[in-house]
Chain A
Amino acid sequence: MSNVSGNRSDDLLERVLPGSILCDMANDPVLTFTDKGIFCPAGGFYIDPWRPVDMALITHGHSDHARGGHNRYLATEAAMPVMRHRLGAIRGETLRFGDVRRIGGANVSFHPAGHLPGSAQIRVEVGGEVWVVSGDYKTEPDGLCEPFEPVRCHAFISECTFGLPVFNWTPQPEVMAQVNEWWAANAAAGRTSILGAYSLGKSQRILANVNPDIGPILTHGAVEATNRVLRGQGLSLPDTVWAGPDITAKTHPGALVIAPPSALNTPWAGRFTGASQAFASGWMAMRGVRRRRGLSQGFVLSDHADWAGLNWAIRATGAERVFVTHGYTQVFRRWLADQGYDAGIVETEYEGDEGETEDDIEVVE
């Protein structure tokens, strides 16, 4: 694996691909939308493709964006270790944030998306025209990953998982204060606190911001495995104990257990008798969703931009054309068109990591 970016002539990613020889740079758009994913004709690469391709540029390691089976991968330095952990032996190269790599007729660079450590927006420039693919992003700094940076562009392909005006996040410090309060109250009452959070991203964000003085922190195997990878690349997280089979409410009284949402209300969680279970997700903003999960508590904490965040981010790009994907696309497109944007929809197979699908979670035990 090479961490060196730039101009190495033998770089595998720099070779012009047969497909792109045929492309007509004057007329082709910088990016096109195919049934394999977002494609750059000038560079011959795909971004977050969902069917096997030769060259895949990956925004981040969530399973709906980083899929297996591609011939070559390019991602940020901080995103690659998790991708290797999840996808096994892949042929991949990394790029530092902000460094430019020439691929065929395109200049490519990665910019922080603020979604999780290493998550990137991908900037593609062909003949002076700049398009940016947002991947998943949030605009509030979370104290863990590289904060979102708006990138000026002509066309912006934006996710809109929470693209409705009912989604307005409470600032993270307030939400984390609620989490601390809940945990402390449970600990005082002798109850375990089980907090459902996606094993990549949300779990570490909570770890990085929770008050570790309240009690011991236990982790589900899926969370602990991801922690190990991220600690290995230099991320600092408070001490956690893998909740192996011998660990119970008795061995670690008053503990906070961080587990994938799919482990809530299962026999795995059942060993912490009398525990209070909660879920941290943007969807917890809706009462109906909280009730469906039968949880006593939901914390509205999302790694995606809220309504104001999406609008701010789009404005900050200066783009005139915006394509939306991944969420309430029809409504959000119409809203953007109302605001004077040339707005379209990209049909993708990204399913979201916010509880829309629970496939994302590998339950280890």
Chain B
Amino acid sequence: MIRFATLFDTLDRTTKTTVKVAALAAYFREAPEADRLWTIALLSGRRPKRAANSTELRTWAAEAAGIPLWLFEEAYPVVGDLSETIALVLPPPTGTSDLPLAAWIGSLIALIGQHADIRRRAILDAWDQLATNERFLYNKLITGGFRMGVSQGLMVRALSQATGHAETELAHRLMGDWTPATTDWAALIESADPAAEGARPYPFALATALDDPAALGEPAEWQAEWKWDGIRGQMIRRGETFALWSRGEELITDRFPDFAPLAQALPNGTVIDGEILAWDGNRPLPFARLQKRIGRLNVSRKLLAEAPAHLLAYDLLEEGGIDLRSLPLAERRARLEDLLNALPAGLPIGPSPAIGFADWEALARTRATARAEIAEGLMVKRLSSPYHVGRRRGDWWKWKLDPFTVDCVMLYAQSGSGRRANLFTDFTFAVQDGEALVPFTKAYSGLTDAEFNEITRWVRRNTLEKFGPVRRVPPELVFEIAFEGIQASPRHKSGIALRFPRMLRWRRDKPVTEIDTLDSLKALLARHS
């Protein structure tokens, strides 16, 4: 555990990816194989089953610390993390341990299903042998949610440095249903795996934000499409290999079992760039529906039925095993449509429609209807352009809608967690409804640390009431909130819910009397739903 805790501390103390990758790579070279395997498992979201639930952990920790449970519960929101709160309240350990990570995990797995007394004894014993930073990680092993500030991509890069295997190949090897109990280092990482070698994606072509389309010149030289609000993905079928990559080059094949039929239906040697969307049979569903599925390793049948995934294809990058990326977009697009038209009906894939337009003004009018189409705006691409590597200014543009904004006043402030544990960063805002103020949204990002510092001092001096970590403050500070969408929501007092609300500006210039009204938000809702 000491080696693993040292790795974690190194990763935690730096924001430099080079340092993180180097530390991980060294760990993958030096740690015992079983520890390496578990580290990969943890960093890719696999964890042992819970040996104790959160209530048990809190109770046992409070007991060991000699404090009442209510006091533990008061400290928890201040720290913002259960594992850390437990690590901090416990009395200093009376012993030490040099057991490796895998052995600790083994002992936790052995506890599953045991009587509470046995689990309690074992966990109290463990706490008594571990230093604060080790305890924190031990608790994380139980509660899950291991992040360590390392994406799967970074982990794969480090693994690639340590083993000499290509990153894309490793990402493919790490897919699927393995656990450290069902495989070993040699089988997972070192054995020959032709399917993994075939999964290699192309770098995504990216677009630049567009302000004024008139600068693009002749409309006939351009193709417009909706900028869908989903997950950009690259689908690959090469022989027995079928892979779906996200734009972050994360392999997400397993998250979307909906696409499994395409593994056979797509012709051999096909690579498609498109947008993964939740689909109602004919058109996309709002992003919120897809969001429910993201982050879940195992998607339930119910979710699959509620929000079936669909790929709207933008581009064809490889056909019959031939790299098409240097062909002009118009040519790739024609081949894409031919390929998709030749597929049997009923598959979860289709072309993202091209939008015809006579002039830029007509296109601007189309763009204004994007929200009704459940799109974020438009993509404008030069018909003669190749499929660039990364972002290359000039050929691909995104022409997004401006966000909605509302001026409102802060009613409640709550301290942040994690990085901002001793600052007030989470605010609840209200708009006017006649004489009253109605809370309608929360937001917690968009300001600078200096502004959060200043607001934190103000909140401390102006607290009217405290409810746990929440403080009620006088309605004096006015903010401009930006958001991407608005929905009716019977669960909220205001009757509305915002999508992606964030603070655009602290409006020191604006008095509370000039904030927006609930009526104006309801009118917005009526126009956009």
Contact surface of A with B, Cβ cutoff 8 Å: 164-168, 283, 285-292, 294-297, 328, 330-331, 334-335, 338, 349, 351, 355-359
In the complex, which residues of chain B have a beta carbon less than 8 angstroms from the beta carbon of A359? 457
The answer to whether B89 has its CB under 8 Å from any CB of chain A is yes
Does B88 belong to the interface (CB within 8 Å)?
yes
Q: What are 20 of the A-B contact pairs (CB < 8 Å)?
A: A164-B74, A164-B78, A165-B67, A166-B88, A168-B89, A168-B92, A286-B422, A287-B12, A287-B418, A288-B81, A288-B416, A288-B418, A290-B13, A291-B12, A292-B423, A334-B71, A335-B67, A335-B71, A351-B457, A358-B453
Flag if B466 contacts A288 (CB, 8 Å).
no
B394 sits at the interface (CB 8 A): no
Distance to closest chain A CB from B459 (angstroms): 12
Contact yes or no, A331 B79, CB < 8 A = no
- Residue of B whose beta carbon sits closest to that of A296: B13
Q: Given the complex, which residues of A lie within 8 Å of B418, measured CB to CB? A: 287-288, 291-292
Residue B65 at the chain A interface, CB threshold 8 Å: yes
Within 415-472 of B, Cβ neighbours of A (below 8 Å) are at 416-423, 449, 453, 457, 460-461, 466
Contact A292 B67 (CB under 8 A): no
Give the Cβ gap from B132 to chain A, nearest Cβ, in Å: 9
Separation of A288 and B88 alpha carbons in the complex (Å): 13
Given contacts A168-B88, A287-B12, A359-B457, 11 further A-B contacts (CB under 8 A): A164-B71, A165-B65, A166-B85, A287-B84, A288-B421, A291-B419, A294-B15, A331-B71, A334-B70, A355-B422, A356-B460
The docked-state distance in angstroms from the alpha carbon of A261 to that of B313 is: 52
Per-residue 0/1 for B26-68: is the Cβ within 8 Å of any A Cβ (1 yes, 0 no)? 0000000000000000000000000000000000000001011
- Which residue of B85, B423, B449, B466 contacts A330 across the interface (Cβ within 8 Å)? B466
B13: contacting residue among A165, A285, A297, CB under 8 A: A297
Residue numbers in B under 8 Å from A286 (CB-CB) = 78-80, 84, 88, 421-422
Q: Is residue B18 contacting chain A, with contact meaning CB distance below 8 A? A: no
Q: Is B396 an interface residue (CB 8 A)?
A: no
The residues of A that contact B466 with a CB separation of less than 8 Å are 330
Contact A288 B420 (CB under 8 A): yes
Q: Is the CB of A165 within 8 A of B75?
A: yes
Contact A164 to B422, CB < 8 A, known contacts A349-B461, A351-B460: no
Interface size of B by CB at 8 A reads: 36
Residues of B within 8 A of A290 (CB): 13
Q: A277: shortest Cβ distance to chain B, in Å?
A: 11
Q: With A288-B81, A292-B420, A294-B15 in contact, is A164–B457 under 8 Å at CB?
A: no
| Chain A residue, CB-CB nearest to B72 | A165
Q: For A167, list chain B residues within 8 Å (CB).
A: 88
Chain B nearest CB from A67 CB (Å) reads 15
Nearest A residue (CB) for B70: A334
Most buried by A among B71, B89, B417, B461: B71
Q: Beyond A283-B422, A286-B421, is A357–B78 a contact (Cβ under 8 Å)?
A: no
B96 interface hit (Cβ, 8 Å): no
- Name the residue on A nearest B91 (C-beta): A168
A355 to B456, CA, bound (A): 12
Which chain A residues border B420 with CB–CB below 8 Å? Answer: 288, 292
- Which residues on B sit within 8 Å (CB–CB) of A356? 422, 460
Tell me, in angstroms, the Cα distance from A287 to B418 when the chains sit together.
7
Nearest CB to that of A356 among chain B residues?
B422
B447 to chain A, nearest CB (A): 13
Residue of B nearest to A330 (CB): B466
Instruction: Give the A-binding residues of B (Cβ under 8 A).
Output: 12-15, 65, 67-68, 70-72, 74-75, 78-81, 84-85, 88-89, 92, 136, 416-423, 449, 453, 457, 460-461, 466
Partner of A164 from the list B75, B80, B460 (CB cut-off 8 Å) is: B75
Chain B residue numbers with a CB within 8 Å of A287 are 12, 81, 84, 136, 418
**B residues less than 8 Å from A291 (CB atoms):** 12, 418-419
Give the Cβ gap from B187 to chain A, nearest Cβ, in Å. 36
Q: Give chain A nearest CB distance to B269 CB in angstroms.
A: 46
Q: Is B65 in contact with A289, judged by CB distance below 8 angstroms?
A: no
Complex interface: chain A residues within 8 A of B68 (CB)? 338
Question: Which chain B residues border A330 with CB–CB below 8 Å?
Answer: 466
Tell me which residues across on chain A come within 8 A of B460, comparing CB atoms: 351, 356
- Nearest-neighbor residue (CB-CB) of A278 within chain B: B13
Select from chain A the residue with minimum beta-carbon distance to B463: A347
Residues of A contacting B419 in the complex (Cβ-Cβ under 8 angstroms):
288, 291-292
> Residues of A contacting B14 with CB < 8 Å?
296
Bound form: Cα–Cα A335–B70 in Å: 9
A296 to B51, CA, bound (A): 33
* CB <8 Å contact, A328 and B422: no
Contacts of A165 in B (CB 8 A): 65, 67, 71-72, 75, 88-89
Closest Cβ of chain B: how far from A252's Cβ, in Å? 25
Chain A contacts for B75, CB-based, 8 A:
164-166, 331
Least CB distance from A50 to B in Å reads 11
Residues of A within 8 A of B71 (CB): 164-165, 331, 334-335
Which chain A residue shows the least CB distance to B460? A351
Q: How far is the CA of A359 from the CA of B454 in the complex (A)?
A: 10
The one of B79, B89, B92, B457 that contacts A288, using a Cβ cutoff of 8 Å? B79
Q: Which A residues are in CB contact (< 8 Å) with B74?
A: 164, 328, 331
Contacts of A164 in B (CB 8 A): 71, 74-75, 78
Report the minimum CB–CB distance from B500 to chain A (whole Å). Answer: 23
**Nearest chain-B residue to A166 (Cβ)?**
B88
Q: What A residues does B84 contact at CB under 8 A?
A: 286-287
Q: In the complex, which residues of chain B have a beta carbon less than 8 angstroms from the beta carbon of A168?
A: 88-89, 92
- Interfacial chain B residues near A351, Cβ < 8 Å: 457, 460
- In angstroms, Cα B79 to Cα A103, docked, is 44
Taken together as a complex, chains A and B put the C-alpha atoms of A330 and B13 apart, in Å, by: 33
Q: Note all chain A residues with C-beta closer than 8 A to B457.
A: 351, 357, 359
